[in-house]
Amino acid sequence: MPEVWESALNGRSGIGPITHFDASELTTRIAGEVKDLDPSAVMDQKEIRRSDSFLQFVNVACLEALQDSGLDMTAEDPYRVGVVVASGIGGIKILEDQSVLAQEKGLMRVSPFFVPMMIIDMAAGDLSIRHGFKGPNYATVSACASAGHALLDSWNLIQLGYADVMITGGSEAPITPLATAGFARMKAMSTRNDEPERASRPFDAGRDGFVMAEGSSIIVLETLEHARARGAKIYAEFVGGGITADAFHMTAPDANGTGGEMSMRIALEMAGLEPADVDYINAHGTSTPLNDAIESKAIMRVFGDHTADLAISSTKSMTGHLLGASGALEFMFLTLALQQGEIPPTINYEDPDPDCALNYTPNASVKRALEVGLSNSFGFGGHNVTLAARKFHEEA
């Protein structure tokens, strides 16, 4: 986490040429790949061979989150610790490989581990088995809003009394031939292949599509009483969220942005906040022509005159788009910004778009006292999630 946060604050892009497979025939040949992953600290070699990358990512992320949080399961009631982990497409590489194997060698050559290696809920199930989490356990799947739903579900489960602690977030490993080809054929991704680090440019007039990325982010949520009782390091207070649907189109956002607007309004209402309370928004900001303009207009309608005082940024400009895991990573960035009083930038913002006329924290991080922030996640199918967080004060 420290390295990722430092890179974000310094505006370092993680986008480069695709190396996972030969992408030479595709119109998009760049992505945000995880480099130098070593899951051996938490998985043995047999488990690694039998697992998709999305499962390896989530195991490493969970181990880091537990170590950072200091959560000691030997001191916990395991039925009060749950897991909700999201993914948009799960083990799609396993699906692709096994499909080819079946066609070339016959159906009886399909691996007996094929189904558990592929299904999305196995991330939550595997973490439960590995660490002894026996509370609520499932996956959320809502395209690029998946991790936002996972976090909000986890918050609600704690609020409703089902758990004291929830391990939550998302994991995605979509940089595969079929998944990349699918998005490329939709013309949803940037084709700025010759300058990958400049390809993701949310809100810039020259944006031409999102840049796909992979990875995992896991967050430990718990009641304040539980955190204080065990002396936990508290980053921020999760205060509420909003969820809506566009009911408009399979892939395009509602042209009026009313779904995203209402998710922000509901998040504020659930959190007991006024628009003027919000200092920072980690925007969905995908670098697609439609999303960025529509999200900007929705923000302006929600915040009115206060919009001029808002700081906004899209960290996808550096990380790329982790699809179903993006909401968890971006909520992590939000909590760190609140805690440390520094806003990560939107890099590659060079040519302002008149349809995107807000303060996007262009190209360099900004130090600023922050109290309240939002994080937006919008997904194919018209799914909208807005999460709200507040800076934690020990005297609170």
Interval 342-374: pLDDT, tens: 999 999 999 999 999 999 999 999 999 999 999
Identity of the residue numbered 120: I
* Known catalytic residue at 144: yes
pLDDT of 253 over the 60 cut: yes
Residue 140 pLDDT: 98
Question: Of the listed 62, 131, 144, 226, which one is catalytic?
Answer: 144
The CA angle 152-242-313, to the nearest 5 degrees, is 90
Asked whether 361 and 383 are in contact (CB, 8 A), the reply is no
- Mean pLDDT for 308-334 is 98
The CA distance from 193 to 185, in Å, is: 15
CA-to-CA separations, 220 to 138, 139, 227, in angstroms, rounded:
16, 16, 10
- How far CA 321 is from CA of 46, 98, 211, 356, in Å, comes to 30, 26, 6, 20
Q: How far apart, in whole angstroms, are the C-alpha atoms of residue 130 and residue 138?
A: 15
- Return mean pLDDT, the chain: 96
DSSP-derived letter for residue 58 is: H
Map tokens 């009631």 to a residue: 77
Residues in the chain: 396
Asked if 284 is an active-site residue, the reply is yes
301 residue type, one letter: R
Q: Which of 46-50, 150-154, 195-199, 265-269 has the lowest mean pLDDT?
A: 46-50
Type of residue at 119: I
Residue 356 near residue 293, CB atoms below 8 Å: yes
Do residues 154 and 168 touch, judged by C-beta distance below 8 A? yes
Pull the structure tokens for residue 314.
């899209």
Q: List, for residues 181-226, the tens digit of each pLDDT value.
A: 999 999 999 999 999 999 999 999 999 999 999 999 999 999 999 9
For residue 95, give the 3-state DSSP assignment: helix
Residue 391, helix vs strand vs coil: strand
Res 319: pLDDT? 98
Distance (Å, whole) CA 130 – CA 108: 30
- The CATH number given to 2-229 is 3.40.47.10
| For range 35-43, the mean pLDDT | 93
Catalytic pick among 131, 149, 226, 321: 321
CA–CA separation, 389 vs 373, rounded Å?
5
- Is the per-residue pLDDT at 40 higher than 90? yes
The pLDDT of residue 155 is 98
Q: Which position has the token pair 């395009």?
A: 252
From 279, 355, 266, 362, select the one nearest 318 (Cα to Cα): 362
For 86, the token pair is 């999201």
* pLDDT for 2: 84
Architecture label for domain 236-391: 3-Layer(aba) Sandwich (3.40)
Q: Note the pLDDT tens digit of each residue in 69-103.
A: 999 999 999 999 999 999 999 999 999 999 999 99
User: Of 131, 149, 226, 284, which is the active-site residue?
Assistant: 284
CA distances from 245 to 159, 229, 255, 329 (A): 23, 38, 13, 22
Q: What is the pLDDT of residue 1?
A: 67
- Domain range list for the chain: 2-229, 236-391
